[in-house]
Protein backbone atom coordinates (compact mmCIF):
# COMPACT_ATOMS: atom_id res chain seq x y z
CA UNK A 1 0.00 0.00 0.00
CA UNK A 2 1.43 3.33 -1.03
CA UNK A 3 0.56 7.00 -0.99
CA UNK A 4 -2.11 9.16 0.54
CA UNK A 5 -4.78 9.30 -2.12
CA UNK A 6 -8.53 9.64 -1.73
CA UNK A 7 -9.09 6.00 -0.74
CA UNK A 8 -6.77 6.23 2.26
CA UNK A 9 -8.15 9.58 3.35
CA UNK A 10 -11.85 8.69 3.02
CA UNK A 11 -11.77 4.91 3.32
CA UNK A 12 -14.70 4.69 5.74
CA UNK A 13 -16.92 6.15 3.01
CA UNK A 14 -15.62 3.81 0.31
CA UNK A 15 -16.10 0.09 -0.42
CA UNK A 16 -12.63 -1.16 0.57
CA UNK A 17 -11.42 -3.48 3.34
CA UNK A 18 -8.14 -3.72 5.26
CA UNK A 19 -7.00 -6.39 2.80
CA UNK A 20 -7.65 -4.30 -0.31
CA UNK A 21 -4.49 -3.51 -2.26
CA UNK A 22 -4.92 0.17 -3.12
CA UNK A 23 -3.79 1.41 -6.51
CA UNK A 24 -3.15 5.12 -6.04
CA UNK A 25 -1.12 7.96 -7.52
CA UNK A 26 -1.81 10.25 -4.52
CA UNK A 27 -4.79 11.82 -6.27
CA UNK A 28 -7.11 14.32 -4.63
CA UNK A 29 -6.38 16.97 -1.98
CA UNK A 30 -6.45 19.56 -4.76
CA UNK A 31 -6.47 23.29 -3.92
CA UNK A 32 -9.71 25.13 -3.21
CA UNK A 33 -8.84 28.64 -4.28
CA UNK A 34 -10.91 31.68 -3.36
CA UNK A 35 -11.42 33.81 -6.41
CA UNK A 36 -11.43 37.50 -5.47
CA UNK A 37 -10.60 39.14 -8.80
CA UNK A 38 -13.16 37.29 -10.86
CA UNK A 39 -15.90 37.96 -8.32
CA UNK A 40 -15.00 41.65 -8.39
CA UNK A 41 -15.00 41.61 -12.21
CA UNK A 42 -18.55 40.23 -12.07
CA UNK A 43 -19.73 42.98 -9.74
CA UNK A 44 -19.25 41.30 -6.34
CA UNK A 45 -21.93 40.31 -3.85
CA UNK A 46 -20.91 36.68 -3.42
CA UNK A 47 -17.89 34.50 -2.60
CA UNK A 48 -16.52 31.92 -5.01
CA UNK A 49 -14.15 28.99 -4.43
CA UNK A 50 -12.50 27.21 -7.34
CA UNK A 51 -11.74 23.49 -6.93
CA UNK A 52 -8.69 23.15 -9.17
CA UNK A 53 -8.85 19.54 -10.32
CA UNK A 54 -6.16 19.99 -12.95
CA UNK A 55 -3.66 19.35 -10.16
CA UNK A 56 -4.53 15.67 -9.94
CA UNK A 57 -1.82 13.20 -11.11
CA UNK A 58 -3.11 12.93 -14.68
CA UNK A 59 -4.41 16.52 -14.59
CA UNK A 60 -8.16 15.92 -14.33
CA UNK A 61 -10.73 14.92 -11.70
CA UNK A 62 -11.07 11.51 -13.36
CA UNK A 63 -8.26 10.21 -11.11
CA UNK A 64 -10.56 10.30 -8.04
CA UNK A 65 -12.80 7.64 -9.52
CA UNK A 66 -10.09 5.78 -11.40
CA UNK A 67 -8.11 4.93 -8.25
CA UNK A 68 -11.15 3.09 -6.89
CA UNK A 69 -12.24 1.54 -10.20
CA UNK A 70 -8.77 0.10 -10.82
CA UNK A 71 -8.34 -0.95 -7.18
CA UNK A 72 -11.60 -2.90 -7.37
CA UNK A 73 -10.71 -4.36 -10.78
CA UNK A 74 -7.45 -5.72 -9.31
CA UNK A 75 -9.27 -7.02 -6.23
CA UNK A 76 -11.66 -8.92 -8.48
CA UNK A 77 -8.79 -10.40 -10.49
CA UNK A 78 -9.47 -8.61 -13.80
CA UNK A 79 -6.48 -8.52 -16.15
CA UNK A 80 -7.54 -5.69 -18.43
CA UNK A 81 -9.56 -2.50 -18.18
CA UNK A 82 -11.43 -0.83 -21.02
CA UNK A 83 -13.01 2.58 -21.50
CA UNK A 84 -14.51 4.92 -24.06
CA UNK A 85 -13.23 8.41 -23.64
CA UNK A 86 -13.25 12.01 -24.80
CA UNK A 87 -9.65 11.97 -23.52
CA UNK A 88 -9.35 12.37 -19.77
CA UNK A 89 -10.81 9.02 -18.78
CA UNK A 90 -8.36 7.30 -21.11
CA UNK A 91 -5.44 9.35 -19.76
CA UNK A 92 -6.37 8.40 -16.22
CA UNK A 93 -7.14 4.74 -17.01
CA UNK A 94 -3.83 4.39 -18.85
CA UNK A 95 -1.85 5.76 -15.91
CA UNK A 96 -3.58 3.71 -13.20
CA UNK A 97 -3.38 0.56 -15.35
CA UNK A 98 0.37 1.14 -15.70
CA UNK A 99 0.62 1.54 -11.92
CA UNK A 100 -1.32 -1.71 -11.43
CA UNK A 101 0.54 -3.61 -14.16
CA UNK A 102 -2.64 -4.21 -16.13
CA UNK A 103 -3.56 -4.00 -19.79
CA UNK A 104 -5.61 -0.95 -20.75
CA UNK A 105 -7.75 -0.61 -23.88
CA UNK A 106 -9.12 2.80 -24.79
CA UNK A 107 -11.64 3.69 -27.50
CA UNK A 108 -11.71 7.32 -28.54
CA UNK A 109 -13.53 9.29 -31.25
CA UNK A 110 -11.23 9.76 -34.25
CA UNK A 111 -9.51 13.15 -34.30
CA UNK A 112 -11.65 14.52 -31.47
CA UNK A 113 -9.41 14.33 -28.44
CA UNK A 114 -6.79 16.88 -27.54
CA UNK A 115 -3.11 16.34 -28.20
CA UNK A 116 -2.14 16.23 -24.52
CA UNK A 117 -4.69 13.54 -23.70
CA UNK A 118 -3.61 11.42 -26.65
CA UNK A 119 0.00 11.76 -25.46
CA UNK A 120 -0.97 10.49 -22.02
CA UNK A 121 -2.77 7.36 -23.28
CA UNK A 122 0.14 6.49 -25.57
CA UNK A 123 3.04 7.13 -23.19
CA UNK A 124 1.42 4.98 -20.48
CA UNK A 125 1.18 2.15 -22.98
CA UNK A 126 -2.59 1.88 -23.39
CA UNK A 127 -3.82 0.05 -26.47
CA UNK A 128 -5.38 3.07 -28.13
CA UNK A 129 -8.05 2.70 -30.79
CA UNK A 130 -9.63 5.62 -32.62
CA UNK A 131 -13.06 4.76 -33.93
CA UNK A 132 -14.90 6.41 -36.79
CA UNK A 133 -17.73 7.60 -34.60
CA UNK A 134 -18.38 9.81 -31.59
CA UNK A 135 -18.05 9.19 -27.84
CA UNK A 136 -21.52 7.71 -27.58
CA UNK A 137 -20.66 5.13 -30.28
CA UNK A 138 -17.43 4.29 -28.44
CA UNK A 139 -19.32 3.76 -25.18
CA UNK A 140 -21.72 1.35 -26.93
CA UNK A 141 -18.73 -0.75 -28.04
CA UNK A 142 -17.29 -0.68 -24.53
CA UNK A 143 -20.58 -1.88 -23.05
CA UNK A 144 -20.36 -4.87 -25.41
CA UNK A 145 -16.73 -5.61 -24.55
CA UNK A 146 -17.65 -5.42 -20.87
CA UNK A 147 -19.92 -8.46 -21.28
CA UNK A 148 -16.73 -10.54 -21.63
CA UNK A 149 -15.12 -11.79 -18.39
CA UNK A 150 -11.67 -10.48 -19.21
CA UNK A 151 -12.52 -6.75 -19.50
CA UNK A 152 -13.49 -4.48 -16.62
CA UNK A 153 -15.22 -1.28 -17.78
CA UNK A 154 -13.84 1.84 -16.08
CA UNK A 155 -16.22 4.40 -17.57
CA UNK A 156 -18.50 6.16 -15.11
CA UNK A 157 -21.10 3.42 -15.68
CA UNK A 158 -18.73 1.58 -13.32
CA UNK A 159 -20.27 2.49 -9.92
CA UNK A 160 -16.84 2.71 -8.26
CA UNK A 161 -15.99 5.71 -10.43
CA UNK A 162 -18.95 7.63 -8.97
CA UNK A 163 -17.99 6.51 -5.46
CA UNK A 164 -14.40 7.74 -5.81
CA UNK A 165 -15.38 11.05 -7.36
CA UNK A 166 -17.68 11.95 -4.45
CA UNK A 167 -14.50 12.70 -2.44
CA UNK A 168 -14.36 16.07 -4.24
CA UNK A 169 -17.44 17.14 -2.23
CA UNK A 170 -15.87 15.87 1.01
CA UNK A 171 -12.74 17.94 0.44
CA UNK A 172 -14.74 21.11 -0.23
CA UNK A 173 -16.73 20.65 3.00
CA UNK A 174 -13.52 19.93 4.92
CA UNK A 175 -12.01 23.24 3.77
CA UNK A 176 -15.14 25.44 4.01
CA UNK A 177 -16.38 23.83 7.22
CA UNK A 178 -19.73 23.21 5.53
CA UNK A 179 -21.19 22.75 2.05
CA UNK A 180 -21.35 25.83 -0.22
CA UNK A 181 -24.75 27.34 -1.10
CA UNK A 182 -24.39 26.54 -4.80
CA UNK A 183 -22.06 24.17 -6.62
CA UNK A 184 -21.30 24.82 -10.31
CA UNK A 185 -19.70 22.30 -12.66
CA UNK A 186 -19.61 21.17 -16.30
CA UNK A 187 -21.84 18.26 -17.33
CA UNK A 188 -20.84 15.75 -20.01
CA UNK A 189 -21.62 12.14 -19.23
CA UNK A 190 -23.10 13.49 -16.00
CA UNK A 191 -21.11 11.27 -13.65
CA UNK A 192 -19.45 14.07 -11.74
CA UNK A 193 -22.61 16.00 -10.86
CA UNK A 194 -24.02 12.68 -9.64
CA UNK A 195 -20.87 12.06 -7.56
CA UNK A 196 -20.80 15.48 -5.93
CA UNK A 197 -24.47 15.28 -4.97
CA UNK A 198 -23.86 11.83 -3.45
CA UNK A 199 -20.83 13.16 -1.56
CA UNK A 200 -22.62 16.19 -0.16
CA UNK A 201 -25.55 14.05 1.02
CA UNK A 202 -23.35 11.41 2.66
CA UNK A 203 -21.26 14.00 4.46
CA UNK A 204 -24.37 15.64 5.86
CA UNK A 205 -25.93 12.32 6.88
CA UNK A 206 -22.74 11.52 8.77
CA UNK A 207 -22.67 14.84 10.59
CA UNK A 208 -19.64 16.29 8.77
CA UNK A 209 -21.67 19.16 7.28
CA UNK A 210 -24.97 20.87 8.02
CA UNK A 211 -26.32 21.96 4.66
CA UNK A 212 -26.61 20.89 1.03
CA UNK A 213 -25.76 22.98 -2.02
CA UNK A 214 -27.94 23.64 -5.04
CA UNK A 215 -26.31 21.65 -7.86
CA UNK A 216 -25.82 23.82 -10.96
CA UNK A 217 -24.74 21.75 -13.99
CA UNK A 218 -23.66 23.26 -17.32
CA UNK A 219 -23.69 21.59 -20.72
CA UNK A 220 -22.36 23.06 -23.96
CA UNK A 221 -25.11 24.45 -26.18
CA UNK A 222 -24.31 22.07 -29.07
CA UNK A 223 -24.16 19.08 -26.73
CA UNK A 224 -27.00 19.73 -24.31
CA UNK A 225 -29.25 16.64 -24.34
CA UNK A 226 -30.41 17.07 -20.73
CA UNK A 227 -31.40 20.70 -21.33
CA UNK A 228 -33.19 19.81 -24.60
CA UNK A 229 -34.80 16.72 -23.10
CA UNK A 230 -33.62 14.34 -25.83
CA UNK A 231 -30.40 12.68 -26.99
CA UNK A 232 -28.33 14.66 -29.51
CA UNK A 233 -27.23 12.53 -32.46
CA UNK A 234 -24.19 14.61 -33.46
CA UNK A 235 -23.07 16.71 -30.51
CA UNK A 236 -20.73 19.59 -31.37
CA UNK A 237 -18.69 21.84 -29.11
CA UNK A 238 -15.18 23.14 -28.79
CA UNK A 239 -15.23 21.71 -25.26
CA UNK A 240 -14.42 18.15 -26.34
CA UNK A 241 -14.54 16.71 -22.81
CA UNK A 242 -18.29 17.41 -22.66
CA UNK A 243 -19.07 16.62 -26.30
CA UNK A 244 -21.61 13.95 -25.37
CA UNK A 245 -25.06 13.43 -26.85
CA UNK A 246 -26.49 10.73 -24.59
CA UNK A 247 -25.13 10.94 -21.02
CA UNK A 248 -24.75 7.65 -19.14
CA UNK A 249 -25.85 9.20 -15.83
CA UNK A 250 -28.69 11.29 -17.29
CA UNK A 251 -31.37 10.22 -14.77
CA UNK A 252 -29.11 10.57 -11.75
CA UNK A 253 -27.98 14.02 -12.87
CA UNK A 254 -31.58 15.16 -13.33
CA UNK A 255 -32.35 13.85 -9.88
CA UNK A 256 -29.37 15.73 -8.38
CA UNK A 257 -30.57 18.94 -9.94
CA UNK A 258 -34.20 18.43 -8.85
CA UNK A 259 -33.54 17.20 -5.30
CA UNK A 260 -31.15 20.08 -4.66
CA UNK A 261 -33.42 22.76 -6.18
CA UNK A 262 -30.60 23.35 -8.67
CA UNK A 263 -30.60 23.38 -12.46
CA UNK A 264 -28.96 21.97 -15.55
CA UNK A 265 -28.56 24.61 -18.23
CA UNK A 266 -26.22 25.34 -21.14
CA UNK A 267 -23.66 27.88 -22.34
CA UNK A 268 -22.43 28.61 -25.86
CA UNK A 269 -18.90 27.87 -27.08
CA UNK A 270 -18.29 31.61 -27.12
CA UNK A 271 -19.31 31.91 -23.47
CA UNK A 272 -17.08 28.95 -22.64
CA UNK A 273 -14.08 30.50 -24.38
CA UNK A 274 -14.67 33.87 -22.73
CA UNK A 275 -14.76 32.18 -19.32
CA UNK A 276 -11.65 30.14 -20.19
CA UNK A 277 -9.72 33.35 -20.88
CA UNK A 278 -11.31 35.31 -18.02
CA UNK A 279 -10.30 32.74 -15.40
CA UNK A 280 -6.75 32.63 -16.74
CA UNK A 281 -6.45 36.43 -16.87
CA UNK A 282 -8.07 37.32 -13.57
CA UNK A 283 -7.03 34.43 -11.34
CA UNK A 284 -3.98 32.82 -12.92
CA UNK A 285 -5.86 29.55 -13.25
CA UNK A 286 -5.39 27.66 -16.50
CA UNK A 287 -8.06 25.08 -17.31
CA UNK A 288 -9.21 23.22 -20.38
CA UNK A 289 -12.23 24.60 -22.28
CA UNK A 290 -14.77 22.08 -20.89
CA UNK A 291 -13.70 23.03 -17.38
CA UNK A 292 -14.64 26.64 -18.04
CA UNK A 293 -18.31 25.70 -18.62
CA UNK A 294 -19.02 25.99 -14.88
CA UNK A 295 -17.31 29.39 -14.77
CA UNK A 296 -19.36 30.47 -17.80
CA UNK A 297 -22.40 29.28 -15.87
CA UNK A 298 -21.52 31.56 -12.97
CA UNK A 299 -21.07 34.52 -15.34
CA UNK A 300 -24.46 33.77 -16.88
CA UNK A 301 -26.27 33.22 -13.57
CA UNK A 302 -24.83 36.43 -12.16
CA UNK A 303 -25.96 38.39 -15.24
CA UNK A 304 -29.46 36.93 -14.87
CA UNK A 305 -29.57 37.94 -11.20
CA UNK A 306 -29.74 34.30 -10.10
CA UNK A 307 -26.99 34.41 -7.49
CA UNK A 308 -28.47 35.57 -4.17
CA UNK A 309 -26.51 38.28 -2.34
CA UNK A 310 -23.97 36.81 0.09
CA UNK A 311 -23.95 33.32 -1.46
CA UNK A 312 -20.97 31.02 -1.18
CA UNK A 313 -20.25 29.31 -4.50
CA UNK A 314 -18.00 26.37 -5.26
CA UNK A 315 -17.05 25.57 -8.84
CA UNK A 316 -15.19 22.50 -10.02
CA UNK A 317 -12.75 23.23 -12.81
CA UNK A 318 -12.27 19.71 -14.05
CA UNK A 319 -9.04 19.53 -16.07
CA UNK A 320 -5.75 21.34 -16.66
CA UNK A 321 -5.29 23.87 -19.46
CA UNK A 322 -2.11 22.22 -20.71
CA UNK A 323 -4.20 19.31 -21.99
CA UNK A 324 -5.14 21.50 -24.92
CA UNK A 325 -2.51 24.19 -25.55
CA UNK A 326 -3.63 24.78 -29.14
CA UNK A 327 -6.98 26.14 -28.01
CA UNK A 328 -5.31 28.34 -25.42
CA UNK A 329 -3.06 29.90 -28.06
CA UNK A 330 -6.05 30.53 -30.33
CA UNK A 331 -8.14 31.91 -27.46
CA UNK A 332 -5.48 34.12 -25.86
CA UNK A 333 -6.31 37.14 -28.07
CA UNK A 334 -2.62 38.04 -28.03
CA UNK A 335 0.45 36.86 -29.89
CA UNK A 336 4.16 36.77 -29.28
CA UNK A 337 6.25 39.16 -31.42
CA UNK A 338 9.65 38.57 -32.97
CA UNK A 339 12.22 41.41 -32.78
CA UNK A 340 15.97 41.97 -33.07
CA UNK A 341 17.96 40.97 -30.02
CA UNK A 342 18.49 44.43 -28.49
CA UNK A 343 16.84 46.44 -25.71
CA UNK A 344 15.48 49.18 -27.99
CA UNK A 345 13.59 46.66 -30.11
CA UNK A 346 12.14 44.92 -27.05
CA UNK A 347 10.98 48.20 -25.50
CA UNK A 348 9.58 49.37 -28.81
CA UNK A 349 7.63 46.14 -29.20
CA UNK A 350 5.86 46.68 -25.86
CA UNK A 351 5.28 50.38 -26.58
CA UNK A 352 7.82 51.75 -24.08
CA UNK A 353 10.88 53.94 -24.55
Ligand X SMILES: *Cc1c(COP(=O)(O)O)cnc(C)c1O
CA geometry: angle at 263 spanning 6 and 88, to 5°?
A: 40
Q: Which of 288, 296, 299, 313 binds ligand X (CB under 6 A)?
A: 288
Shortest distance, CB of residue 32 to ligand X, whole angstroms? Answer: 17
Binding of ligand X by 241 (CB under 6 A): yes
Binding of ligand X by 114 (CB under 6 A): no
Binding of ligand X by 242 (CB under 6 A): yes
Binding of ligand X by 199 (CB under 6 A): no
CA distance 184 to 250: 17
Q: What's phi and psi for 223, nearest 5 deg? A: -145, 55
CA distance 147 to 151: 8
CB nearer to ligand X: pick between 13 and 250: 250
Binding of ligand X by 219 (CB under 6 A): no
Q: Which of 60, 67, 209, 331 binds ligand X (CB under 6 A)?
A: 60
Q: Which of 5, 57, 186, 262 binds ligand X (CB under 6 A)?
A: 186
Buried-state track 166-195, b at ≥16 Cβ within 10 A, e below 16: bbbbbbbbbebebbbbbbbbbbbbbbbbbb
Q: Which of 116, 199, 225, 319 binds ligand X (CB under 6 A)?
A: 319
Q: Which of 116, 164, 191, 297 binds ligand X (CB under 6 A)?
A: 191
Shortest distance, CB of residue 288 to ligand X, whole angstroms? Answer: 5
CB nearer to ligand X: pick between 60 and 71: 60
Binding of ligand X by 187 (CB under 6 A): yes
Reference 250, options 219, 271, 274; nearest CA is 219
CA distance 97 to 110: 22
Contacts to ligand X from residues 72-91, by CB under 6 A: 88
Q: Which of 273, 290, 299, 314 binds ligand X (CB under 6 A)?
A: 290
CA geometry: angle at 144 spanning 141 and 148, to 5°?
A: 135
Binding of ligand X by 188 (CB under 6 A): yes
Buried-state track 11-30, b at ≥16 Cβ within 10 A, e below 16: eebbebeeebebbbbebbeb
CB nearer to ligand X: pick between 46 and 106: 106
Q: What's phi and psi for 103, nearest 5 deg? A: -80, 140
Binding of ligand X by 120 (CB under 6 A): no
Task: Tell me the site size for ligand X, rule CB under 6 A.
Answer: 18
Under DSSP, the state recorded for 111 is: T
Q: Which of 114, 163, 189, 260 binds ligand X (CB under 6 A)?
A: 189
Buried-state track 132-149, b at ≥16 Cβ within 10 A, e below 16: ebbbbebbeebeebbeee
Shortest distance, CB of residue 345 to ligand X, whole angstroms? Answer: 40
Report the interface residues with ligand X, using CB under 6 A. 60, 62, 88, 156, 186-192, 241-242, 288, 290-291, 318-319
Amino acid sequence: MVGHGVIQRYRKFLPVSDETCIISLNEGNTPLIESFNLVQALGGGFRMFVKYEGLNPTASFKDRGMTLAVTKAVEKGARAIVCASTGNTSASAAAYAARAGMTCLVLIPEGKISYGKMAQALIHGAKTIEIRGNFDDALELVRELGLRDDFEIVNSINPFRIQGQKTGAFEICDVLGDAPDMHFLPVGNAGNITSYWLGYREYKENGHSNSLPRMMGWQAEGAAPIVRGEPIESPETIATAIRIGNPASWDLASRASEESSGAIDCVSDEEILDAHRLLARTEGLFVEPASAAGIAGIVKSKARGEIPEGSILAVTVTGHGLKDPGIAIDNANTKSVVVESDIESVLEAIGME
